[in-house]
Amino acid sequence: MAKQLFCILVAMLATACWTATPPPNVRTIVLKGDAYSRGFQHGQAFEWDIRSLYTRMLTNSLIPSLNEEQSHITSILGVYYEDRYLDGHFAYQMMLESAWNLWNEGFIPETYKKELQGLADGAHMPLDDVLVLNTFLDTMLAFRGVSLFIQELQKPRLLSLEVLGAITADGRDNDADGQTDEDGEGRLDDYRPSPYATLLEVPPEASFRLVFEDVFLGGLRCVDLENIDPIGEAVIERRCVHDDCVRPECADLPLLPRECLTWEPERARCVEPKVAFTCFDPNCVEIIDPECVDPRSIRVQIDETLYTSVDAPDVVAPRLLPLEEGEVYDPQGPGGDYPHARRCQGKLEVVVTPPAPLPPASVVTILLQAQDLSQIYVSPPKRARSMRDERIVLTTRGYAEATGTGATLTDVPNVGPAVDRAMPMPVSLALRGSATANGAPLAAQHFALLDGNILHEHTALFVQVPDEGEGLPHAYVGWTGLLWGFSGLNTAGMTYSVIHSDTLDNPLVGGVVKAIVDNLATILKTPDLSGLSDILGDVHLFARNLPLGFSGREILARATTVDQGLDILYHGGQTFGWNWMLADAEGGMIAVETDGSTDPRKIGKLRQQPSPVEEDGFAWFGPDREEAEALAPWGRPWGSVGPDDVRSSGHFVKNTDDAMPTFLATFTPKHQRFWSSYYYRAVRTWHRLGDEITARYGTFDVPTLIELLRTPDLVDRRDSMNAVIFEPARRVMHWAMGDVPATDQPFVELDLTKAVEDGVVP
């Protein structure tokens, strides 16, 4: 008894002083053997971490978020109204089908199929889940692009920008077109976003005239506030209203001969867009997209000062433009005689008169935003449609003389105001020779996309040692349950890093466009394009081509030089827009910009060359390019500040015409810079990165690179995921992860050759 009491007492005392500590966020593992074995070891070692990542990131976070996008998609692709996509299953089902399409169509190489199977078996998880986990990014980013594009179609946009004042008589070539003070100088009738300045040497006393429009896509959209449709939203498919929303006097109006996709089709009626609004009971019908820019929503920020049309009507003065010559107001036309129609049918002009002259000899940033009068109930909270913050940069008179630069638009980067609320985008860079302290090559990346307070707890460093003949040993930083990462190094000294770059030239959009193009004759037979919905009713959103992660693994397994890496990317095809950075032990370095290349007119004709060539959706640049290809049209290197560096971020520098041209009018996919919410963030980050490289040119070593990666303007403090620095010639990488931002963590060195030899990560 006394002995037992003594043991209890010892146990009590032993635990009395114990304090819990946080578990490690970073794991390391060496995986050896054939593909299946390595996958099995991975799954077995991290079974519960993988479940944690899957449940927290996908099940509890991303999937519910993506489900919100269902209504945007179903308005175009009716198949996603089928039962198996309802009740919260849309996102998972879509990603699963897309993943299996990649598997069944042979886009995933056999070796990774085995590794995936091994991972599933080792972790005791269904192959479905493991497959979705390893391919969701390819599908999700492309899908996000599709959804954003559909939303973008219905948002206000800036049509034109004009500088008012003495700009046509100031003796300067303000639009850098080679002419001075010509008619229309200072007026941009077809506004295009730019990574550089839009106008130069603008008079400080200038005011601005902006014209916005909101596109009407056709059809009556109505909301039945008393009923919820099968996907859980208070939105009815356009042009469908309930019986009890139609006034008796309008009951005999002609109906469109097609089925309305609601949960009670027998109660629904389809009406022509031209049916007057007065035919509907306003208590249950509400216009949600009335082709109207809201004049009260205009926000103009000039450098750091914000003006709104409500708070500063003398600074920001909107007015509805009269209909253009030749246009006649048509009460039966789009918009009809809706109560607001006479108020806003047309374009909105906004004259911005700064209360004080603009600072002379300066770079001035103008940020614009406008909303329309829609009431969007899907993806609450309820809101109007907001255009993307549009960022325009110009210089004021005297800038060129004062600074010695600014003679051309590309002299002035579009980086925005000094303080930017948005987080920077990821960065990749490679350096060598005259850029580094000892001439040896270096490469680095700081990747950020989404942490959600989840990812940083699941990080891992993987060292893969395949069996003889199955590829080169390599290492990458990633997450438990994923067979890949966004960067890596192999024992030949080959490195890669990759950043997402929004594009609508991706296989998901490509599938839609192909269906349209293949059936164009049928679609055009119906004047109201109602055949379009029939054609699109069977289109699925499937990813195609070599998934991102396995592209990276293939580079690590098979490439020893940047040329070989380039070849793998060229022949593998892409699932989305990706900006790659390749660097090898000999100092080779290139940035590669790729997209899905889904132009239906070019299918079967692209990526057919034995060696990579620049073609639709495939471009590269770097200090090793032939001189003729090394420079942009404005005479400077595409992505270098000197002779021995190259950088990239999350936008296309060279592959700027990424969307294939089509003739779908309003529905034509736009180039990245017109719609991507990442665009201006990436432009700013890319320019700032160039500044930081310039400032340290010739001194780069690992500590200096760490310092650069920790530059506050380059650190996403909320969604940073990992940071790596490669020394290709030494086969060494330095990694930081496991916290947000990753760069706050110490960089840990991995000697890959030694790790492979020893079979353990020190």
Partner 1 sequence: MTRSAHTAGLIVVWLLTLLVPSVTQAGFTETVPKHTFIVDEAFVLSWVHGAWDDGSHRASLVDAIEMYEPGGPLQGILTPDPHVRQMVLINQLQYGITDGLTVALGIPVVLRSEVDPRFGWTPGEYQSRLGRVYSEQDFWDWAAGMGQAKPGTFDGNHGVLSDLVVGLRWRFSDHLPWLGEHGLALSLLAFGILPTGRAADPDEVISVGTTLWDLYAQGDLGVHLGVDKTFERELDGRLALGLDAFYEAFFERTRRAPNGGTENKLLLNQAPYVGDTYRVKPGDWSGAACQVSMVPWNGPSRGSWLTGGDDGKAARMPPLVTLSVGYRFLHMQQTDWSSRAPHWDWKREEDKRPGWRHTLSARASFSFLRLGAPVQVYVTYSNSSWLPGKNTVAPDMLSTGIQVPLKFW
Q: Residues 476, 485: contact at Cβ < 8 Å?
A: yes
Cβ-based nearer residue to partner 1, 121 or 181:
121
Q: By CB under 8 A, name the one of 389, 614, 624, 691 that touches partner 1.
A: 389
In angstroms, what is the minimal distance from the CB of 281 to partner 1? 25
Check residue 276 for interaction with partner 1 (CB under 8 A): no
In angstroms, what is the minimal distance from the CB of 132 to partner 1? 14
Q: By CB under 8 A, name the one of 6, 7, 10, 64 that touches partner 1.
A: 64
Choices 12-20, 212-220, 532-540, 654-662 (CB under 8 A): range interacting with partner 1? 12-20
Cβ-based nearer residue to partner 1, 88 or 642:
88
Cβ-based nearer residue to partner 1, 11 or 603:
11
Alpha helices in 590-724 (DSSP H): 627-630, 672-675, 679-695, 702-709
Per-residue tokens: 381:
């909270």
Cβ-based nearer residue to partner 1, 275 or 415:
415
650: CB partners within 8 A, 6+ apart: 425, 426, 499, 500, 501, 502, 579, 678, 681, 682, 685
Q: Residues 173, 200: contact at Cβ < 8 Å?
A: yes
648-677: which residues touch partner 1 (CB under 8 A)? 677
Tokens 């002035």, residue located: 412
Q: By CB under 8 A, name the one of 457, 502, 505, 658 that touches partner 1.
A: 457
Q: Give the per-residue contact string, 415-444, with partner 1 (x = CB under 8 A; - = no).
A: ------xxx---------------------
Beta 348-352 vs 207-214: how paired, if at all? antiparallel
Check residue 571 for interaction with partner 1 (CB under 8 A): no
How would you write 74-119 as a 3-class SS string?
Answer: HCCCHHHHCHHHCCCCHHHHHHHHHHHHHHHCCCCCHHHHHHHHHH
Choices 56-64, 99-107, 502-510, 558-566 (CB under 8 A): range interacting with partner 1? 56-64
Check residue 127 for interaction with partner 1 (CB under 8 A): no
In angstroms, what is the minimal distance from the CB of 306 to partner 1? 9
Q: By CB under 8 A, name the one of 7, 10, 55, 643 that touches partner 1.
A: 55
495-514: which residues touch partner 1 (CB under 8 A)? none
Neighbour tally for 455: CB within 10 Å: 22
Cβ-based nearer residue to partner 1, 21 or 104:
21
In angstroms, what is the minimal distance from the CB of 16 to partner 1? 6
**What is the dihedral sign for C-alpha 424, 425, 426, 432?**
negative
63: CB partners within 8 A, 6+ apart: 88, 91, 92, 95
How would you write 370-402 as a 3-class SS string?
Answer: CEECCCECCCCCCECCECCCEEEEEEECCHHHH
- Amino acid identity for residue 120 in this structure: A
Q: By CB under 8 A, name the one of 86, 256, 450, 748 that touches partner 1.
A: 450
Cβ-based nearer residue to partner 1, 80 or 678:
678
Check residue 297 for interaction with partner 1 (CB under 8 A): yes
Q: Give the per-residue contact string, 711-740, with partner 1 (x = CB under 8 A; - = no).
A: -----x-xx---------------------
Q: How far are the Cα atoms of 294, 309, 318 from residue 299, in angstroms, in the given order? A: 11, 7, 11
In angstroms, what is the minimal distance from the CB of 51 to partner 1? 4
Hey, is 737 helix, strand or coil?
Answer: strand
Cβ-based nearer residue to partner 1, 169 or 225:
225
Residues binding partner 1: number (CB under 8 A)? 46
Check residue 126 for interaction with partner 1 (CB under 8 A): no
Q: How far are the Cα atoms of 143, 508, 608 from residue 504, in angstroms, in the given order? A: 9, 8, 22
Cβ-based nearer residue to partner 1, 148 or 523:
148
Residue environment code for 116-139, b if the CB has 16+ CB neighbours within 10 A, otherwise e: bbbbbbbbebebebbbbbbbbbbb
Cβ-based nearer residue to partner 1, 339 or 380:
380
680: CB partners within 8 A, 6+ apart: 193, 389, 391, 414, 416, 422
Q: By CB under 8 A, name the one of 32, 51, 625, 730 that touches partner 1.
A: 51
Choices 50-58, 344-352, 598-606, 611-619 (CB under 8 A): range interacting with partner 1? 50-58
Q: By CB under 8 A, name the one of 1, 2, 16, 628 that touches partner 1.
A: 16
Neighbour tally for 697: CB within 10 Å: 17
In angstroms, what is the minimal distance from the CB of 678 to partner 1? 8
Give, for 240, the enclosing helix (H) or strand (E): strand 240-242
Choices 58-66, 109-117, 256-264, 336-344 (CB under 8 A): range interacting with partner 1? 58-66
Neighbour tally for 726: CB within 10 Å: 31
Neighbour tally for 610: CB within 10 Å: 8
In angstroms, what is the minimal distance from the CB of 462 to partner 1? 20
Neighbour tally for 114: CB within 10 Å: 18
Q: How buried is 266 (Cβ within 10 angstroms: 0-12 exposed, 13-18 middle, 19+ buried)?
A: exposed
**What is the dihedral sign for C-alpha 112, 114, 120, 123?**
negative
In angstroms, what is the minimal distance from the CB of 27 to partner 1? 11
Cβ-based nearer residue to partner 1, 175 or 457:
457
Cβ-based nearer residue to partner 1, 125 or 461:
125
Tokens 């493991």, residue located: 130
Q: By CB under 8 A, name the one of 124, 247, 383, 525 that touches partner 1.
A: 383
Q: By CB under 8 A, name the one of 384, 427, 475, 539 that touches partner 1.
A: 384
Check residue 128 for interaction with partner 1 (CB under 8 A): no
Cβ-based nearer residue to partner 1, 299 or 397:
299
Residue environment code for 465-493, b if the CB has 16+ CB neighbours within 10 A, otherwise e: bbeeebbbbbbbbbbbbbbbbbbbbbbbb
Q: Give the per-residue contact string, 352-381, with partner 1 (x = CB under 8 A; - = no).
A: -----------------x-x-------xxx
Neighbour tally for 248: CB within 10 Å: 7
Q: How many residues does the chain have?
A: 762
Tokens 């896509």, residue located: 217
349: CB partners within 8 A, 6+ apart: 209, 210, 211, 212, 318, 319, 320, 321
Choices 18-26, 93-101, 236-244, 568-576 (CB under 8 A): range interacting with partner 1? 18-26
In angstroms, what is the minimal distance from the CB of 423 to partner 1? 5
Q: By CB under 8 A, name the one of 44, 79, 88, 109 that touches partner 1.
A: 88
Q: By CB under 8 A, name the one of 18, 468, 628, 665 that touches partner 1.
A: 18
Check residue 479 for interaction with partner 1 (CB under 8 A): no
| Cα 417–Cα 423–Cα 425 angle in degrees, nearest 5 | 105
Choices 51-59, 113-121, 264-272, 311-319 (CB under 8 A): range interacting with partner 1? 51-59
Give, for 302, the enclosing helix (H) or strand (E): strand 299-302
How many helices (DSSP H) and strands (DSSP E) are in the chain?
20, 26
Choices 21-29, 404-412, 507-515, 656-664 (CB under 8 A): range interacting with partner 1? 21-29
Q: By CB under 8 A, name the one of 681, 684, 687, 731 that touches partner 1.
A: 681
**What are the residues binding partner 1 (CB under 8 A)?**
12, 15-23, 25, 48, 51-52, 54-56, 59-60, 64-65, 68, 88, 297, 369, 371, 379-384, 386, 388-389, 421-423, 450, 457, 677-678, 681, 716, 718-719
